[in-house]
Each structure stands twice: as structure tokens, then as C-alpha cells.
């Protein structure tokens, strides 16, 4: 696996910053537990050495045995498990907090990116990133981040205690200790690479499964369900194989570390044992470490290597976290680019044009016009999450050959007056949908877009408007309405959370759905299935129009909303939209503008240059591509 980039290392650090105090508390509990372990070993060594002395001299076993030793042992045996449980509880809660915040952040990022999410994989792959790859950070946060500190503090404490009894035993421990992290790193790097491959296979499997499930009705009609089953079987087998590869290495890691620790403890035990019977080659007939000291050292020796062995076992959790971070970073970096663009916008609260901009949020009944001047759009050719995961780093995508771009919209100039409704037409690939995305603030563009007041006395560039404010005043209706598996009322309230039930009924009456809804068993609280299942295509579009009405937006962007409807249903929707869109500024992307005679004008987009997909600057682009006027 490639070395982490600075950005990936920084992200791992940022993940831990918010719970740094909790993790330090967990580490402190471990230090206290280690000190109690030293005390426990001292009490046990004192007790057993006293019993041995009494046995040799035929004294009662209770002779010279202090009752405080037994009380201390009871306290140690009770307190240490509680401290370890407290550490695990604090670490687990910290991990849960971080992962919950990260998921919320990722959902917010996806909202900002909008249609640009398609560059980071399918819906199934993105769902896997939000769920599985954030969960992959659990072991890194709750175990590894604390254990790497414990692996330093605990051996140091125990080494000092052992050296007080035998400096030779301390040297043996010190010389054998580095073997554990060396093997841990060697095997851990292999685990990291395998974990990254496993994440890739999981993302591919998630994407394939969701795509096949969505297309299941079509597959059934074509009697091609066996193809889907065979494809999923191949993908799941690949994921199983990669998972077993990770587990094999993890078990190998554990076995090697256990073997090294056992050999090291045996070496210390041999020295102490030979010393007790006085047969050390360099010190024959002498006992360098008495029974108390030897027992004390042997009681501490296993715990000297335990934190290092545990760190080795947790190292695969770090590898999983690195793989997850490499997958998540491109999305997070893309969102930072959007944020930096927004930060460069003029603050609409202090802008001289604030009266007009504020009117958009305070009086949504006021329509506004749009003026485009030499606007063009280009984007990098889609790069999947899997490709990003396999690259040495995300920056490698920009190194060597220049970036490859696809021209999505030729330089375009036109204007729409406030309250006017226009049809946007053009051949497939001319950039109609891309232009709508730019008007919603989801796509970067070259050129100028401005909002124009009703009296045409004021213009405000898009770059000077808060994108959230802009989207609040923009309504969007696509070919297929994005309905959730919620009730009809809950779907409507996605557009207006504060809407009362009476307001919901009123908009349903406007779109001619109320007569249907009120006769449903649960009325407005009837549950819909995924993608609006339970309603026909025309009914779903009417529900989408009801959402538009609840938003009461000034600008409506309609992306072929009747494309997949039968002619009669499409005509009904056309008639409905003609009525409800009056006094709105409407941009309607369509291939059948002849059926929309009530629209005020038609604007045709030309095809952008697509040959060679070479990177062109704005001046070169404007020389070679003609725009609609």
C-alpha cells in the first residue's frame, strides 16, 4: 500500500482531535491500572516469598504475613478490571461520537456536491463509504489510538520496576522488545494493502447490488435475472476471497507476535531460574536475584510484552482506517473546494446589493430574471472511487499528463426576464442539464451568470450570492421525482418542514391529487415505497409539483418532467404546470417544446467541442465553440 499523503495523515489526526480529551482519559486509566499491576506483583511476590521462607523453616504459614497484603490484593483484583472496562467504555463512546459526526459531515458534503457525486462512484458505492468505511475507523479510534500510547508508557513503567530488582533482566526485556514492533510493521503494511483491496471489492459489490436491485423489474421482463445472480456471485466471491486474505494475515500477525513474546519471556525465566539454583556460567554458586525479586520480575514480564502484542493485533485496525481515509478523502477535498469557492463570494449581508438579495429570502413571490454571458462548463472525465483508491495518492491524478476534461456546455449567452417561461432545447450532450446544475450552484462554470431584478435596474452576479440562499429560492423538478420511502405528508414536508396539514391538503387539491389521497386507507399519512412506489408516474410528478408549490420558489428549473409519461398524462401535467407556474421564472428543458405553446420563448443550445477532450483555456474555448444567442 502506498505511503499516506500529508492530506490523508492530516485527516486521520483531525478525526482524533475532537475526542482527544476522552482518549487521554482512557490512557490515564491504563497508566493507573499499570501502577496497580506493579503493586499487585509486589504483594504477590512478598506473600509467596514469605510462605516459602516459613515452609523452609517449619514456621506457620501465617507468620510475618500482613493482613494489609491481602486487602491490597483484593483491591487490585477488583479495581484493575473496573479501570480496564472504563477505558474500553470511554474509547468506544469516543469512537461512536467521531463516526456519527463523520457520517453527518459526509451527508452534508454530498448535499453540497449535488450532481458532482457521480464522479465518486455509484449510489451503492457511496452508501458503502458512509456506512462501512466510517465503521472501519472504529478500531483505529477506540483501540489503536490509545494502545500506541499504552505501548510506550506501560513497558517504561514495568522496565523501571524490573530494573530495581535486576538490571540484567531489564536489559533482556529491553533488547527483545523491539522485535515485536518490527514484525508488527512488516506484517502490518501487507495487511494495509489487503484492507484497501477489500474496501474496493466491497464498494464494487455494493454498487452492483444496488444497480441490479433497481433494475429488477426490467430484468424480470427480459428474463435476465440469472445474469444478475451470476454477476453478484462473482463479486461476492471476490469480496470473500479478499476478506479471507486480510484475516489470514491478521492471524499470522497474532501468531508471530505471540511466539516472539513467549520466547522473550522464556529467556528471562531461564536467566532467573539458573540464577536461583546458582549455575549461571559467569556467577556460579551465587544467587544474583533472590526468590522475591525473581517472582516479581516473572509476574511483570508477560505484561511487559502484552501492550506491544496488543498494538500488533490492533495494527490491522490502523491499516483499515488508512484504507477508509484514502477512499473518503477525495469527497472531502472536493467539498473543501466548494467551500473555498463559497468563501470567496461577496458577503450578501454586507454587499451594496443586499436589498435585492435579501428580498429573495424575505419575499419569494418576487420573481427575478437571469442573464448569462459566455457561460461554458467543462468537467474532468468521471473517476470512480475504486480508481482513486488504487492510485498512490489523490494528487497522482494531477501529476504527469494534464487533466482530461469533457466539455459539457459550449459558451452560451442569453437572458430571461423576470416572470418569463422559456424552453431550453438542444441535441443530447449539448449541456441542458449541466446548465440547470450551474443555475443551482452545483457546477463550476466559466463566464458570468447574474440575477436581474424585476425592473431590470439591478444585477447581482451568482458568485456574490450565498448558494444556500439561492437554492432556497430555486425549485427543481426532474424526469423522476426523488420520493423517499416515507408517508405522503412526510415527503411533502421535505420541501417545507413547517407546513401544516391543511397547507398540504391545499397543494394536493391544486395538483388534483387530493381526491385520490383522501380515499387511501391512511389518507395523507399513507406510506410510499422506495422511489414513490404506490403512485403512478403521473401521480409522482404531481406530488413533485406539490413540493414545488410548498417551496414557493422564485425560479423553477424543470428537467424534462414529462419525458417518461404517456401522452395523455404528459398533457395533463403540461396543463397543470402552465397554471401553477404563472408569475414564476421558468427554465424548461424539453425535446417537445411544440407541445408547450404557452412558453414565452425557446432557446437552443449548440453541441460543445468534444474531439480529443483536450484541456482548453477560456479564450481558446471561446474561439472554437459557438454559443446560443
Please indicate, yes or no, whether residues 416 and 564 belong to a single structural domain of this protein: yes
Which residue reads 424480470 in cell numbers? Answer: 220
Examine the pLDDT at 91 and tell me if it is beyond 80.
yes
pLDDT band at 1 (very low <50, low <70, confident <90, very high): very low
Looking at the chain, the whole-number percentage of residues with pLDDT higher than 70 is 76
Please indicate, yes or no, whether residues 290 and 416 belong to a single structural domain of this protein: no
Other beta carbons less than 10 A from residue 156's beta carbon: 12
More confident residue, 344 or 224: 224
Question: What's the pLDDT score for residue 195?
Answer: 62
**Lowest-pLDDT choice from 113-127, 301-315, 477-491:** 113-127
- Please indicate, yes or no, if residue 106 is contained in any of the structural domains: yes
Q: How many domains does the chain have?
A: 2
Question: What's the pLDDT score for residue 386?
Answer: 39
More confident residue, 421 or 177: 421
pLDDT band at 322 (very low <50, low <70, confident <90, very high): confident
Question: What's the pLDDT score for residue 404?
Answer: 57
Question: What's the pLDDT score for residue 360?
Answer: 45
pLDDT band at 626 (very low <50, low <70, confident <90, very high): very low
Task: Report how far residue 340's alpha carbon sits from residue 285's, in angstroms, rounded to the nearest whole number.
Answer: 77
Question: What's the pLDDT score for residue 194?
Answer: 66
The grid cell for 199 is 474496501
Examine the pLDDT at 349 and tell me if it is beyond 90.
no
**DSSP letter for each residue of 276-327:** HTT--TTSTT--SS-HHHHHHHHHHHHHHHHHHHHHHHHHHHHHHHHHHHHH
Please indicate, yes or no, whether residues 317 and 180 belong to a single structural domain of this protein: yes
Please indicate, yes or no, whether residues 206 and 283 belong to a single structural domain of this protein: yes
Rounded mean pLDDT, 364-376: 78
To the nearest whole number, what is the mean pLDDT of the chain?
A: 75
Question: For 496-517, how does the pLDDT look when each residue is reduced to its tens digit (9 = 90+)?
Answer: 888 888 888 888 888 888 888 8
**Which residues form the domain of 564?**
357-473+553-624
**Lowest-pLDDT choice from 179-193, 341-355, 530-544:** 341-355
- Please indicate, yes or no, if residue 175 is contained in any of the structural domains: yes
Question: What's the pLDDT score for residue 568?
Answer: 83
Please indicate, yes or no, whether residues 264 and 170 belong to a single structural domain of this protein: yes
- Please indicate, yes or no, if residue 170 is contained in any of the structural domains: yes
Please indicate, yes or no, whether residues 363 and 321 belong to a single structural domain of this protein: no
Report the relative pairing of strands 555-559 and 421-426 from DSSP bridges. Answer: unpaired
Rounded mean pLDDT, 523-532: 76
The CATH number assigned to the domain holding 210 equals 1.20.1560.10
Please indicate, yes or no, whether residues 452 and 362 belong to a single structural domain of this protein: yes
Region of residue 466 (phi > 0: left; psi between -120 and 50: alpha; otherwise: beta): beta
Question: What's the pLDDT score for residue 254?
Answer: 67
**Lowest-pLDDT choice from 93-97, 294-298, 484-488:** 484-488
Rounded mean pLDDT, 207-234: 77
Please indicate, yes or no, whether residues 207 and 261 belong to a single structural domain of this protein: yes
Examine the pLDDT at 332 and tell me if it is beyond 80.
no
Examine the pLDDT at 83 and tell me if it is beyond 90.
yes
Please answer whether residues 368 and 461 qualify as being in contact, where contact means their C-beta atoms are separated by less than 8 angstroms: no
- Computed on alpha carbons and rounded to an integer, the radius of gyration of the chain in Å comes to 34
Please indicate, yes or no, whether residues 141 and 196 belong to a single structural domain of this protein: yes
* Closest C-alpha among 39, 64, 66, 40 to residue 54: 64
Please indicate, yes or no, whether residues 265 and 375 belong to a single structural domain of this protein: no
Reported as half-sphere exposure (CB side, CA atoms, 13 A), residue 279 has a value of 4
Rounded mean pLDDT, 590-607: 82
In a 3-state reduction of DSSP, which class is residue 377? strand
**Lowest-pLDDT choice from 133-147, 374-388, 536-550:** 374-388
- Please indicate, yes or no, if residue 20 is contained in any of the structural domains: no
Rounded mean pLDDT, 349-369: 50
Task: Report how far residue 465's alpha carbon sits from residue 554's, in angstroms, rounded to the nearest whole number.
Answer: 15
Highest mean pLDDT among 72-81, 161-170, 592-601: 72-81
Question: What's the pLDDT score for residue 76?
Answer: 92
The grid cell for 254 is 497474532
Task: Report how far residue 609's alpha carbon sits from residue 90's, in angstroms, rounded to the nearest whole number.
Answer: 58
Examine the pLDDT at 134 and tell me if it is beyond 60.
yes
Question: What's the pLDDT score for residue 77?
Answer: 92
- Please indicate, yes or no, if residue 90 is contained in any of the structural domains: no
User: What's the burial of 182, exposed, middle or buried (CB within 10 Å: 0-12/13-18/19+)?
Assistant: exposed
**Lowest-pLDDT choice from 188-192, 415-419, 602-606:** 188-192
More confident residue, 372 or 255: 372
Question: What's the pLDDT score for residue 347?
Answer: 44
Question: What's the pLDDT score for residue 593?
Answer: 73
Rounded mean pLDDT, 3-20: 77
Please indicate, yes or no, whether residues 256 and 386 belong to a single structural domain of this protein: no
Task: Report how far residue 112's alpha carbon sits from residue 614's, in angstroms, rounded to the nearest whole number.
Answer: 28
Examine the pLDDT at 79 and tell me if it is beyond 90.
yes
Examine the pLDDT at 490 and tell me if it is beyond 90.
no
Question: What's the pLDDT score for residue 439?
Answer: 84
Question: For 179-192, how does the pLDDT look when each residue is reduced to its tens digit (9 = 90+)?
Answer: 766 666 666 566 65
Task: Report how far residue 75's alpha carbon sits from residue 410's, in angstroms, rounded to the nearest whole number.
Answer: 78
The grid cell for 285 is 554458586
Residue 131 is classified by DSSP as I
Question: What's the pLDDT score for residue 261?
Answer: 74
- Please indicate, yes or no, if residue 26 is contained in any of the structural domains: no
Looking at the chain, the whole-number percentage of residues with pLDDT higher than 90 is 7
* Closest C-alpha among 467, 478, 461 to residue 375: 461
Q: What is the H or E stretch that residue 217 is in?
A: helix 216-221
**Lowest-pLDDT choice from 169-178, 189-198, 282-291, 305-314:** 189-198
Examine the pLDDT at 429 and tell me if it is beyond 80.
no
Question: What's the pLDDT score for residue 623?
Answer: 33
Question: For 111-122, how does the pLDDT look when each residue is reduced to its tens digit (9 = 90+)?
Answer: 666 666 655 655
Rounded mean pLDDT, 134-149: 84
- Please indicate, yes or no, if residue 483 is contained in any of the structural domains: no
More confident residue, 129 or 101: 101
CA distances from 500 to 462, 489, 544 (A): 33, 10, 18
Examine the pLDDT at 574 and tell me if it is beyond 50.
yes
Question: For 13-51, how does the pLDDT look when each residue is reduced to its tens digit (9 = 90+)?
Answer: 888 888 889 989 999 999 999 999 999 999 998 888 888
Question: What's the pLDDT score for residue 192?
Answer: 58
**Lowest-pLDDT choice from 219-223, 358-362, 523-527:** 358-362
Examine the pLDDT at 71 and tell me if it is beyond 70.
yes
- Please indicate, yes or no, if residue 546 is contained in any of the structural domains: no
Please indicate, yes or no, whether residues 325 and 372 belong to a single structural domain of this protein: no
The CATH number assigned to the domain holding 610 equals 3.40.50.300
Question: What's the pLDDT score for residue 124?
Answer: 57
pLDDT band at 214 (very low <50, low <70, confident <90, very high): low
Task: Report how far residue 174's alpha carbon sits from residue 304's, in angstroms, rounded to the nearest whole number.
Answer: 10
Task: Report how far residue 390's alpha carbon sits from residue 383's, in angstroms, rounded to the nearest whole number.
Answer: 11
The grid cell for 221 is 421482463
Question: What's the pLDDT score for residue 190?
Answer: 60
Amino acid at each position: 500500500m502506498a505511503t499516506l499523503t500529508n492530506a490523508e495523515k492530516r485527516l486521520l489526526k483531525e478525526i482524533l482531535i475532537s475526542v482527544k480529551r476522552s482518549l487521554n482519559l482512557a490512557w490515564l486509566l491504563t497508566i493507573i491500572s499499570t501502577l496497580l499491576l506493579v503493586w499487585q506483583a509486589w504483594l504477590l511476590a512478598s506473600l509467596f516469598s514469605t510462605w516459602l521462607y516459613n515452609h523452609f523453616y517449619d514456621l506457620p504459614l501465617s507468620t510475618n504475613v500482613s493482613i494489609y497484603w491481602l486487602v491490597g490484593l483484593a483491591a487490585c483484583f477488583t479495581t484493575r478490571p473496573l479501570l480496564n472496562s472504563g477505558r474500553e467504555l470511554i474509547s468506544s463512546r469516543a469512537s461512536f461520537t467521531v463516526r456519527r459526526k463523520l457520517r453527518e459531515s459526509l451527508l452534508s458534503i454530498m448535499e453540497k456536491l449535488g450532481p458532482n457525486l457521480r464522479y465518486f462512484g455509484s449510489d451503492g458505492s457511496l452508501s458503502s463509504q458512509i456506512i462501512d468505511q466510517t465503521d472501519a475507523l472504529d478500531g483505529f479510534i477506540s483501540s489503536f489510538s490509545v494502545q500506541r500510547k499504552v505501548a510506550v508508557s506501560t513497558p517504561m513503567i514495568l522496565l523501571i520496576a524490573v530494573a530495581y530488582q535486576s538490571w540484567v533482566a531489564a536489559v533482556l526485556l529491553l533488547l527483545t522488545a523491539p522485535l515485536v514492533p518490527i514484525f508488527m510493521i512488516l506484517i502490518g503494511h501487507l495487511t494495509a494493502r489487503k484492507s484497501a483491496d477489500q474496501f474496493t471489492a466491497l464498494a464494487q459489490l455494493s454498487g452492483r447490488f444496488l444497480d441490479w436491485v433497481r433494475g429488477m423489474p426490467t430484468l424480470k421482463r427480459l428474463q435476465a435475472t440469472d445474469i444478475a445472480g451470476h454477476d453478484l456471485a462473482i463479486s461476492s466471491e471476490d469480496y470473500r476471497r479478499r476478506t479471507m486474505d486480510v484475516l489470514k494475515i491478521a492471524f499470522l500477525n497474532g501468531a508471530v507476535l505471540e511466539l516472539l513474546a513467549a520466547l522473550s519471556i522464556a529467556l528471562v525465566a531461564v536467566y532467573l531460574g539458573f540464577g536461583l539454583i546458582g549455575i549461571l556460567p559467569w556467577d556460579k554458586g551465587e544467587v544474583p536475584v533472590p526468590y522475591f525479586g525473581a517472582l516479581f520480575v516473572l509476574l511483570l514480564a508477560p505484561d511487559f510484552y502484552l501492550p506491544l502484542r496488543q498494538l500488533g493485533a490492533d495494527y490491522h485496525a490502523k491499516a483499515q482506517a488508512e484504507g477508509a481515509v484514502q477512499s473518503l478523502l477525495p469527497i472531502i477535498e472536493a467539498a473543501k473546494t466548494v467551500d473555498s469557492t463559497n468563501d470567496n463570494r461577496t458577503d450578501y449581508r454586507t454587499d451594496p446589493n443586499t436589498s435585492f438579495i435579501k428580498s429573495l429570502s424575505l419575499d419569494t413571490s418576487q420573481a427575478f430574471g437571469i442573464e448569462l454571458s459566455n457561460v461554458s462548463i467543462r468537467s474532468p472525465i468521471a473517476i470512480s472511487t475504486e480508481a482513486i483508491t488504487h492510485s498512490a495518492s489523490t494528487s497522482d491524478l494531477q501529476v504527469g499528463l494534464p487533466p482530461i476534461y469533457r466539455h459539457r456546455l459550449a459558451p452560451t449567452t442569453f437572458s430571461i426576464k423576470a416572470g418569463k417561461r422559456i424552453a431550453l432545447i438542444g441535441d443530447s450532450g449539448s449541456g441542458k442539464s449541466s446548465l440547470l446544475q450551474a443555475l443551482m450552484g452545483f457546477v463550476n462554470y466559466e463566464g458570468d451568470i447574474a440575477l436581474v431584478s424585476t425592473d431590470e435596474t439591478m444585477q447581482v452576479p451568482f458568485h456574490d450570492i450565498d448558494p444556500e440562499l439561492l437554492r432556497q429560492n430555486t425549485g427543481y423538478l426532474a424526469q423522476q421525482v426523488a420520493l423517499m420511502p416515507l408517508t405522503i405528508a412526510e415527503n411533502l414536508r421535505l420541501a417545507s418542514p413547517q407546513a401544516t396539514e391543511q397547507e398540504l391538503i391545499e397543494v394536493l387539491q391544486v395538483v388534483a391529487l387530493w381526491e385520490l389521497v383522501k380515499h387511501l386507507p391512511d389518507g395523507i399519512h399513507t406510506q410510499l415505497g422506495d422511489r414513490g412506489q404506490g403512485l403512478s408516474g403521473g401521480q409522482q410528478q404531481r406530488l413533485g409539483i406539490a413540493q414545488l408549490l410548498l417551496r414557493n420558489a422564485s425560479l423553477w428549473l424543470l428537467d424534462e418532467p414529462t419525458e417518461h409519461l404517456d401522452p395523455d398524462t404528459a398533457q395533463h401535467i403540461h396543463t397543470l404546470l402552465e397554471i401553477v407556474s404563472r408569475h414564476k421564472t421558468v427554465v424548461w428543458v424539453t425535446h417537445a417544446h411544440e407541445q408547450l405553446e404557452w412558453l414565452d420563448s425557446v432557446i437552443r443550445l449548440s453541441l460543445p467541442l468534444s474531439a480529443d477532450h483536450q484541456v482548453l483555456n477560456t479564450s481558446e474555448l471561446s474561439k472554437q465553440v459557438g454559443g446560443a444567442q
